[in-house]
A and B are shown apart, each in its own frame.
Chain A
Amino acid sequence: MRLRPAILAGTMACALLTGVRARAEGATVTIDNFAFTPAEITVSPGTTVTWLNRDDIPHTVTDAAEPRAFKSPPLDTNDSFRHAFTTPGTYHYFCSLHPHMQGTVVVR
């Protein structure tokens, strides 16, 4: 799903308030300077990962595997995308506009 910045800010504020439990449930990857940061994250099953585009240029978050388990719409500046990872495994993804941008989510 796609969140507007105001909603995202609210979500982040909640995450800060609830502390440790929220960290166990969520993880955030930022997009700056045509790069996913961190490029690789490890999360437990059931974790929702949020990607936030802070570039002036649109990007996508696209599963590299076929068929694709997830693909975001184009994310404009400050748009974000969330996906819940329920099944353990290694998920490689990339930006379908700028395919040199790559990242990995390890679920275990």
Chain B
Amino acid sequence: MATDEDAPSQGRRTALKCMLWAGTGVMWTVAGGVPRSVLLGGDGAQAATPGGLSFVQISDSHIGFANPPNTNTPGTLQEAIGRVNAEKGNAALMIHTGDVSHLSRAAQFDTAEQIIKGAGLETHYVPGEHDVLEDDGKPFFARFTKGGPNGWYSFDQQGVHFVGLNNVQDLKAGGLGNLGHEQLEWLEADLKGRSASQPIVVFAHVPLWLVYKDWGWGTDDGAQAVSYLKRFGSVTVLNGHIHQVMQKVEGSVAFHTARSTAFPQPAPGTAPSPGPIKDVPAGQLRALLGVRKVQLVASGKELAVVNDTTLAG
């Protein structure tokens, strides 16, 4: 968990940590910026009242990766999409928070696109660093972010404002993820004039908050982006990159990272490097991969529900 001054209180931090290991069947309710969790099937499941917007997040499909612990990343992406189909309900759309491919190759993009189409949901992508290895990312943007030639864009859906950001290019030696001046100016202008009561969902590949500096898990100018978001009453920031679930709350801004559909990575500092966890016990891989469903309830104080599901459940 993050250890900076804005980290949640000890009690909440402990609760969050427990959720990290619980793995499946946990529904997150973020009310007024304060998350609480309930087991699926309990009263909380009904709290997600019909009529609100719901959507699905998948991340880090890494098509092209074929090493331990997963030599079949198309297969696990297919399973994830199967899970989405089974549980999507009235989901309006899906977001993919980057690293669609492992090496930015056209065939890898093709494979991912074909499998993801199977969800039958309009899907909005942002690039991961593995997606922009060729020609400054142009092949990715032409295919996956048609509304954003540089990989960033926004749109509205049922009153919720979605902002997709690109923090994986023009990285500096010794630095972290990077948004850059041009994108920050665009973001400030995009949010200007919007009502503070409009729910905002921001999605980007690398966490916008500092998860772990030694492994580069953060965004150098992420705090600048968050400063533009703080006046809004409900902000949900969804990231990928670290292949595990983590949460943090700062005022009305709730940060969440998602599981990968390809392979797990270690908790910060628990391994020599952030590389894939290779020695996953037989049969346990799917408990470490997953998809996420988010529900935004328009009425009352319930602002967002995040339900993480593993492929093993």
Interface residues of B in 231-246 (CB under 8 A from A): none
Q: Provided the pairs A74-B103, A74-B104, A74-B133 are in contact, do residues A56 and B276 lie with their beta carbons within 8 angstroms?
A: yes
> A99 to B172, Cβ gap below 8 A?
yes
Counting CB contacts under 8 A, is A9 at the interface? no
CA distance A8 to B215 in the complex (A): 29
Counting CB contacts under 8 A, is A45 at the interface? no
CA distance A25 to B175 in the complex (A): 33
Q: Mark B55-69, 1 if CB is under 8 A from A, else 0.
A: 000000000010110
Binds A, one of B74-82, B155-163, B180-188, B267-275: B267-275
CA distance A100 to B174 in the complex (A): 4
- Give chain A's interface residue range (CB within 8 Å of chain B): 20 to 34
Counting CB contacts under 8 A, is A58 at the interface? yes
Among A34, A64, A74, A96, the residue within 8 A (CB) of B275 is: A34
By a CB distance below 8 angstroms, the chain A residues around B171 are 96-97, 99
A55, A94, A96 pick with most chain B CB within 10 angstroms: A96
Please count the residue pairs between chain A and chain B whose beta carbons lie under 8 angstroms apart in the complex: 57
> B215 to A100, Cβ gap below 8 A?
yes
Q: Mark A19-51, 1 if CB is under 8 A from B, else 0.
A: 000000000000001110000000000000000
Contact residues of A with B, CB < 8 Å?
A: 33-35, 55-58, 62, 64, 73-74, 76-77, 92-94, 96-100, 102
Q: Mark B263-306, 1 if CB is under 8 A from A, else 0.
A: 00000000011111010000000000000000000000000000
By a CB distance below 8 angstroms, the chain B residues around A94 are 173-174
User: How many Å from the CB of A18 to the closest CB on chain B?
Assistant: 34
> B275 to A97, Cβ gap below 8 A?
no
User: How many Å from the CB of B127 to the closest CB on chain A?
Assistant: 12
By a CB distance below 8 angstroms, the chain A residues around B87 are none
Interface residues of B in 87-110 (CB under 8 A from A): 102-104
By a CB distance below 8 angstroms, the chain A residues around B216 are 98-100
Give me 19 A-to-B residue pairs in the complex whose CB atoms sit less than 8 angstroms apart, sorted by A's number: A33-B272, A34-B275, A55-B273, A56-B67, A56-B278, A57-B276, A58-B102, A58-B130, A74-B104, A77-B67, A93-B173, A94-B174, A97-B171, A99-B171, A99-B173, A99-B174, A99-B175, A100-B174, A100-B176
By a CB distance below 8 angstroms, the chain A residues around B278 are 56
Top 10 A-B pairs, shortest CB-CB distance: A33-B273, A94-B173, A64-B173, A34-B273, A100-B216, A99-B171, A74-B133, A56-B67, A97-B129, A33-B272
CA distance A23 to B274 in the complex (A): 32
> A76 to B103, Cβ gap below 8 A?
yes
Supply 16 further A-B pairs (C-beta < 8 A) apart from A56-B278, A58-B133, A100-B214. A33-B273, A33-B275, A34-B273, A55-B275, A57-B275, A62-B173, A64-B173, A73-B133, A74-B133, A92-B173, A97-B133, A98-B129, A99-B172, A99-B175, A100-B174, A100-B175
